[in-house]
């Protein structure tokens, strides 16, 4: 029987985004505060996912052996280090979250049957790498607060109560929504980036957080005048709002995950970039509704 296991590790390190071929002004324009000397630090959290058949002892791998491999090949070298100087590869490609994840994969792959490397730079930013050349995934998380009412506009109050229960009450109710936006792209061989983080964050703020925050979704967001603002439908709408703008950054929107409460969440995936590009060229809608 095949099974996937995960091992957590952590290390603390500093880094700086700085390219010597650029002037100080160009570095600041490219990397913002991350270009400031002497750098800045993070408490990185690493998850190594591995796949294999269960042995007679009920294990895919001996976790003590896994722990030692991760320590020897990764954490002992990176913990309390200045990443730019820790590994020679960071002289060629900067130690961004996505590039660190890629290099950790290549350090561990000779010893472990890896399926995914997930690296958290902090709780609101993390990268996934799955061994696909220079392609990686980057996730930004944020939040907004909003109220909604679950009621189909063509049904009576009684009918809506049968479907949605208390959520159909006329004055609605609110949530502190947690939003995760995952983009996919090629790691730039020099900057180490999939896309500009500041630009991505600005797009999420512009298209989602600012318009949605502290609203009554049914009344303040025109889309939900006729569409019931379930977590699923909100996630689909956010996908449609972000997919084309993010494509213009050089990355592609991969997934939207919306956490309505600790008990309820929804996630939707996106078309491949070439599919979206074809639609835009042909003048078709950016996304079919579901």
Q: Is 260 a catalytic residue?
A: yes
DSSP the chain: -EEEEEEEEEEEEEE----TTS-HHHHHHHHGGGG-SS-EEEEEEEEEEEEEE--TTS-SS-HHHHHHHHIIIIIHHHTTEEHHHHSTHHHHS---HHHHHHHHHHHHTTTS-EEEEEEEEETTEEEEE-SSTTEEEEEEEEEEEEEE----TTS-HHHHHHHHGGGG-TT-EEEEEEEEEEEEEEPPTTT--SS-HHHHHHHHIIIIIHHHTTEEHHHHSGGGGTS---HHHHHHHHHHHHHHHHHTTT-EEEEEEEEEETTEEEEEE---HHHHHHHHHHT--SS---
C-alpha dihedral sign at 156, 157, 158, 161: positive
> Catalytic: which of 73, 98, 121, 260?
260
Q: Is 232 a catalytic residue?
A: no
Catalytic residue among 40, 122, 173, 214: 214
73: annotated active-site residue: no
Question: Among the options 42, 167, 232, 267, which is catalytic?
Answer: 167
What residues are annotated to the active site?
167, 214, 260
């Amino acid at each position: 029987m095949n099974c996937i296991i995960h091992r957590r590790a952590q290390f603390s390190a500093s880094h700086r985004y700085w390219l010597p071929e650029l002037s100080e002004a160009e570095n600041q324009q490219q990397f913002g505060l991350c270009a400031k000397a002497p750098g800045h630090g993070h408490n990185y959290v690493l998850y190594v996912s591995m796949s294999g058949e269960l042995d007679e002892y009920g294990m895919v791998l001996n976790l003590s052996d896994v722990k030692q491999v991760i320590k020897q090949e990764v954490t002992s070298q990176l913990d309390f280090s200045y990443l730019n100087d820790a590994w020679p590869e960071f002289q060629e490609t900067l130690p961004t979250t996505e590039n660190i994840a890629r290099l950790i994969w290549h350090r561990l792959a000779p010893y472990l049957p890896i399926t995914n490397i997930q690296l958290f730079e902090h709780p609101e930013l993390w990268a996934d790498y799955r061994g696909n050349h220079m392609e990686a995934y980057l996730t930004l998380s944020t939040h907004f607060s909003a109220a909604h009412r679950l009621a189909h506009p063509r049904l009576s109050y009684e009918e809506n109560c049968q479907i949605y229960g208390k959520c159909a009450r006329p004055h609605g109710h609110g949530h502190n929504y947690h939003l995760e936006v995952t983009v996919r792209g090629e790691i730039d061989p020099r900057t180490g980036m999939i896309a500009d983080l500041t630009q991505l964050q600005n797009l999420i703020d512009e298209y989602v957080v600012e318009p949605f925050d502290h609203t009554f979704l049914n009344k303040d967001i025109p889309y939900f005048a006729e569409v019931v603002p379930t977590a699923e439908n909100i996630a689909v709408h956010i996908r449609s709002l972000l997919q084309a703008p993010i494509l213009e950054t050089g990355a592609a929107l991969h997934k939207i995950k919306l956490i309505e409460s600790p008990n309820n969440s929804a996630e939707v995936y996106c078309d491949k970039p070439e599919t979206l590009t074809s639609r835009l060229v042909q003048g078709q809608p950016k996304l079919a509704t579901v």
